[in-house]
Copies of this chain bind each other. A is one copy, B any other.
Amino acid sequence: MSTAYEETGRSRQKQRTRAALVAAARQLVAEGGRPPTVAEAAEAAAVSRTTAYRYFPTQHALLVAAHPEIETTSMLPAEVGSDPETRIEAAVRSFMAMVVDTEEQQRTMLRLSLQRDAASRELPLRQGRAIGWFTEALDPLADRLGADGVRRLAVAIRAVCGVEALVWLTDIAGLSREQAVEQMAWSAVALVRRANDQPHAL
């Protein structure tokens, strides 16, 4: 990671500082389950706290930038076939496996996104890739529902399957993680089925 000492100039400097912060935060996230404070990330990046805040005005911004992007292009197994229900169930299970794997970070991100007042809520929030994955899983329905119908169905499914729902199902309803995922898969299929039965209703 000792990059390009040849690169000089102020713009490069900024790039490097930013990259160092992101890399440090990313590493700290990977190491301990608990997300780092800004100060911790700054120190790990050998950068002053003040500077860190210059690049990322909030801890949330830093963690968003540090969020290890899942590189997966698709969440569907190769041999999944064309049945929409089977496909969405597979997609949901893959997606939720990832969410459960990174649950601590997911919770923190959710909490931090709830942190600020209504004003800052207007800011563009980072969307995950779930919509894309679900849309792909729903591809066989594109003819029947139309692109817009598929997208809305994907949104509906994402509303059922995610950290938010996981938090409620486990913390409040008392389900195990496995039960929660089962629940979500079942619900997702229910949504697909209704959309399929009544293409105009959504």
Q: Which residues of the partner chain B approach A195 to less than 8 Å between Cβ atoms?
A: 190
Is the C-beta of A160 less than 8 angstroms from some C-beta in chain B? yes
Chain B residues with Cβ under 8 A from A173's Cβ?
Answer: 155, 158-159
CB closest residue in chain B, given A165: B159
User: Which of chain A's residues 62-79 have a Cβ closer than 8 Å to chain B?
Assistant: none
User: A108 to nearest B CB, angstroms?
Assistant: 8
CB distance from A187 to the nearest CB of B (A): 6
Closest to A157 in B: B187
* B residues near A172, Cβ cutoff 8 Å: 125, 127
Q: Are A159 and B187 in contact (CB under 8 A)?
A: yes
A201 within 8 A of B: yes
Judged by a CB distance under 8 angstroms, whether A99 is at the interface is no
Q: In chain B, what residue has the closest Cβ to A108?
A: B114
Task: Confirm or deny: A156 has a beta carbon within 8 angstroms of a beta carbon on chain B.
Answer: yes
- Complex alpha-carbon distance, A184 and B155, angstroms: 11
CB contacts (< 8 Å) of A118 on chain B: these are 104
| Contact across chains for B183 and A201 when beta carbons are under 8 A apart | no
Q: Does A194 contact B (CB under 8 A)?
A: yes
Q: Chain B CB within 10 Å — which of A104, A110, A201 has the most?
A: A110
Residue A16 at the chain B interface, CB threshold 8 Å = no
Q: Which of B104, B175, B194 contacts A190 (CB 8 A)?
A: B194
Q: Is the CB of B168 within 8 A of A158?
A: yes
Task: Verify A201–B187 contact, CB threshold 8 A.
Answer: no
Chain B residues within 8 Å of A156, by CB = 183, 186-187
A–B complex contacts, Cβ < 8 Å, 19 sampled = A104-B118, A111-B114, A111-B115, A114-B167, A125-B172, A127-B172, A155-B173, A156-B183, A156-B187, A158-B168, A159-B160, A159-B168, A159-B184, A159-B187, A160-B187, A162-B168, A190-B190, A190-B191, A194-B194
Closest A-B pairs by Cβ, 7 of them? A164-B164, A190-B194, A111-B114, A190-B190, A159-B165, A190-B191, A155-B173
17 more A-B residue pairs beyond the given contacts A165-B165, A191-B191, with a C-beta to C-beta distance below 8 A: A104-B118, A108-B114, A113-B167, A114-B114, A125-B172, A156-B183, A156-B186, A159-B165, A159-B169, A159-B183, A159-B184, A159-B187, A160-B165, A164-B165, A164-B168, A189-B194, A194-B194
